[in-house]
């Protein structure tokens, strides 16, 4: 537990000055330091297992190499986690580190989380949510480059870019997959309207029907919630005691857990999936969708991709922004602000259809 070696230790051991050490170790030795000294410095550094103190570096460079992430719930959900994982991988590949503050869905902790991060001199901020949702970005977020992942600020002048999944398209393509199998009577168990995800997916569903020239039977669209039990009961209402000819031939679910409930209900009723009823999920939840019986056809949320894309955009902004050093850059920062504003668009990432075994051709005669 002894202290780490500092540049001064290396300098002493090599018999040179700190500056020489700094130059050599940062690749600017040639032309500045005698090659004999260079070698001694390198040897000394290796011997002492030297690596620079990032804290000191941060102070000196006014650049911490830390990206702050505010999350409303890393904890319990694999969703957020995957977004953050995607973001972190990109950050790491560029020498940054991510510092996550979880507010555990307590909005009053938003500001203070950002404050804490800002005090620690993060170079940029990302706000990540578990479910797609609108929010008002904390005031103080504007002090550094920022981006939203899986959420968006619905105020017209918010000016913070966002990366979200293209839910409308996802809903449409999911529906189209079922239609391509011959299904026309497709029920949609659709979560609730507490987040925009379900409504948007429903929009996509309607779009698909419209494109196919088919009417939507409103009774087939039911916002039941997001969990297995609500999926179960929703499916029961749709299927139990209903004549085979009046059953929907496919049930599209707003997430995979609902789909599990639907499959449970089918089995309980002696119905085969997908022979009698096709069931489709959404999210492609890790270790859930792929190992179901039958394995779930689903629409994968591009979580890692969203995180990666958001971080890529964010780091580009960090690189572009006038390093915050007081290089009297009033003029340049004007230019930069314009750039930022223009790029403060919302980027939509496409969901990916994953075909497995829970969907099949429509039963004969339907």
Q: How far is the CB of 224 from a copy of itself (least distance, A)?
A: 12
Locate 122 and state its tokens.
């993060």
Shortest Å, Cβ 205 to DNA: 54
Q: What is the CA radius of gyration of the chain?
A: 27
Written as six digits, the tokens of 280 are: 């489709």
**Residue 35 interacting partner from DNA, a copy of itself, none (CB closer than 5 to 8 Å by kind):** DNA
Q: Is residue 150 at the binding interface for a copy of itself, with CB under 8 A as the rule?
A: no
Residue 213 or 287 with smaller CB distance to a copy of itself: 287
Taken as a whole, the chain contains a residue count of: 366
What DSSP string runs through 341-361?
HHT-PEEEE--EEE--SS--P
DSSP string, 39-65: HHHHHHHHHHT----HHHHHHHHT---
Give residues in contact with DNA (CB under 7 A).
3, 6-8, 15-23, 25-26, 28, 31-37, 50, 52-53, 56-57, 59-62
Could you say which of 227, 237, 323, 354 contacts a copy of itself (CB under 8 A)?
227
Which member of 34, 97, 319, 355 binds a copy of itself (CB under 8 A)? 97
104 binds a copy of itself (CB under 8 A): yes
38 binds a copy of itself (CB under 8 A): no
123: nearest Cα among 308, 314, 346: 314
- The residues near 52 (Cβ < 8 Å, ≥ 6 apart) are 7, 25
Name the one range near a copy of itself by CB under 8 A: 32-40, 84-92, 154-162, 211-219: 84-92
Give 120 or 268: the residue with its C-beta nearer to DNA. 120
List the alpha helices (DSSP H) in the chain. 7-14, 18-25, 35-48, 54-61, 78-93, 110-119, 167-180, 197-211, 228-239, 256-268, 303-320, 330-342
Question: Which does residue 26 touch among a copy of itself, DNA, none (CB within 5 to 8 A, set by kind)?
Answer: DNA
For residue 350, the partner it binds in a copy of itself, DNA, none, with Cβ less than 5 to 8 A by kind, is none
CB of 99 to DNA, least distance (A): 18
The angle formed by the CA atoms of residues 232, 233 and 236, to the nearest 5 degrees, is 90
Q: For tokens 């981006």, what's the residue?
A: 147
In whole angstroms, how far apart are CA 347 and each of 150, 163, 202, 313, 354?
A: 10, 5, 20, 10, 22
Q: Which of 36, 243, 326, 365 binds a copy of itself (CB under 8 A)?
A: 326
Residue among 2 and 331 whose Cβ is closer to a copy of itself: 2
Q: Let me know: does 45 contact 21? Beta carbons within 8 Å.
A: yes
249 neighbors 184 (Cβ within 8 angstroms): yes
Binding-site partner at residue 331 among a copy of itself, DNA, none, CB < 5 to 8 Å by type: none
Among 87, 198, 263, 362, binds a copy of itself (CB under 8 A): 263
Is 101 a residue that touches a copy of itself (CB under 8 A)?
A: yes
CB of 3 to DNA, least distance (A): 7
Write down the least CB distance from residue 179 to a copy of itself, Å.
Answer: 27
Instruction: Give the chain's end-to-end CA distance (angstroms, integer).
Output: 73
Cβ 214 to a copy of itself shortest distance, Å: 32
Shortest Å, Cβ 337 to a copy of itself: 8
In this structure, the number of other CB atoms found within 10 A of the CB of residue 353 comes to 16
- Determine, following the binding rule CB under 8 A, whether residue 120 of this chain makes contact with a copy of itself: yes
Report the C-alpha gap between 160 and 138 in whole angstroms. Answer: 11
Footprint on this chain of a copy of itself (rule: CB under 8 A): 1-4, 51-56, 58-59, 64, 74-78, 81-82, 84-85, 88, 97-102, 104, 115-116, 118-121, 142-145, 227-230, 232, 257, 260-261, 263-265, 267-268, 270, 286-288, 291-293, 295, 321, 324, 326, 333, 337
């Amino acid at each position: 537990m002894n202290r780490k070696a500092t540049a001064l230790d290396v300098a002493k051991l090599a018999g040179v000055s700190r500056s020489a050490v700094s130059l050599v170790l940062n690749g600017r030795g040639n032309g500045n330091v005698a090659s004999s000294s260079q070698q001694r410095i390198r040897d000394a550094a290796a011997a002492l297992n030297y690596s620079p103190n990032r804290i000191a570096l941060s102070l000196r460079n006014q650049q911490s190499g830390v990206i702050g992430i505010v999350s409303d719930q890393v904890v319990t959900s694999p969703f957020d986690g995957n977004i953050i994982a995607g973001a972190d991988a990109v950050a790491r590949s560029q020498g940054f580190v991510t510092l996550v503050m979880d507010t555990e869905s307590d909005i009053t902790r938003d500001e203070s989380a950002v404050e804490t991060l800002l005090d620690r001199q993060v170079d940029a901020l990302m706000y990540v949510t578990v479910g797609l949702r609108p929010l008002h970005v904390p005031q103080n977020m504007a002090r550094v480059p920022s981006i939203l992942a899986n959420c968006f600020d619905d105020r017209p002048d918010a000016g913070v870019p966002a990366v979200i999944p293209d839910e409308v398209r996802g809903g449409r393509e999911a529906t189209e997959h079922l239609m391509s199998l011959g299904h026309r009577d497709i029920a949609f168990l659709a979560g609730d309207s507490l987040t925009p995800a379900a409504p948007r997916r429903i929009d996509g569903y309607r779009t698909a029907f419209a494109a196919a020239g088919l009417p939507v039977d409103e009774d087939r669209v039911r916002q039941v919630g997001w969990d297995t039990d609500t999926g179960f009961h929703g499916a029961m209402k749709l299927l139990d005691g209903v004549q085979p000819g009046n059953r929907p031939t496919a049930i599209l679910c707003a997430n995979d857990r609902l789909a599990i409930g639907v499959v449970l209900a089918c089995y309980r009723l002696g119905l085969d999936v997908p022979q009698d009823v096709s069931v489709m999920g959404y999210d492609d939840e890790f270790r859930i969708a792929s190992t179901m019986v039958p394995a779930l056809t689903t629409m994968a949320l591009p979580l890692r991709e969203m995180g990666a894309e958001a971080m890529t955009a964010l780091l580009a902004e960090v690189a572009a922004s006038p390093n915050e050093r007081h290089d009297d850059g009033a003029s340049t920062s004007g230019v930069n602000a314009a750039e930022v504003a223009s790029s403060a668009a919302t980027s939509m990432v496409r969901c990916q259809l994953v075909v497995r075994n829970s969907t099949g051709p429509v039963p004969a005669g339907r």
